[in-house]
Amino acid sequence: MNKNKKSLLIVAHGSRKKVSNIEIHQLANNISLKSESFDVVEACFLEIAEPSIPKGIESCITQNATEIVIMPYFLAAGRHVIEDIPSIVNEESLKYPNITIKSLPYFGSSPVIVDILRTLAENNT
């Protein structure tokens, strides 16, 4: 029997600095180690770095994902969050009609960010 596989695809901007991109891949790996909800956790990039969003989606599908959850790892709702990422995700969804691909709200919109920033500030002063 085929088990449905759920993937988390973290989408970051991408940087010319390799170390910044490696940091995003490490984040994905750390989430993977702690997650009980996702069978696959991958990182991809909007621009500059690889893999691209389409390649990230393809990688999840290659690993037998039947559902892909897109997490835009952005702090603010700029053009990339409002226009670019939804457009790319929509195009890719059309290519894979048998795969559920859905986007979560961008990282910075989460109400837990307030507590994270407050805790960091209070613990480091």
At 66-87, the pLDDT tens digits run: 999 999 999 999 999 999 999 9
Instruction: List the chain domain ranges.
Output: 6-123
Tell me the pLDDT band of 1, cut-offs 50, 70 and 90.
very low
Q: What is the dihedral of CA 119, 10, 72, 2, to 10 degrees?
A: -120
30-42 per-position pLDDT tens digit: 999 999 999 999 9
Token pair of 65 as six digits: 């994902």
Contact 11, 71 (CB under 8 A): yes
How does DSSP classify residue 47? S
80-106 per-position pLDDT tens digit: 999 999 999 999 999 999 999 999 999
Is 2.40.37.10 the CATH number for 6-123? no
Q: Residue 109, Cα to own-chain centre: how many angstroms?
A: 14
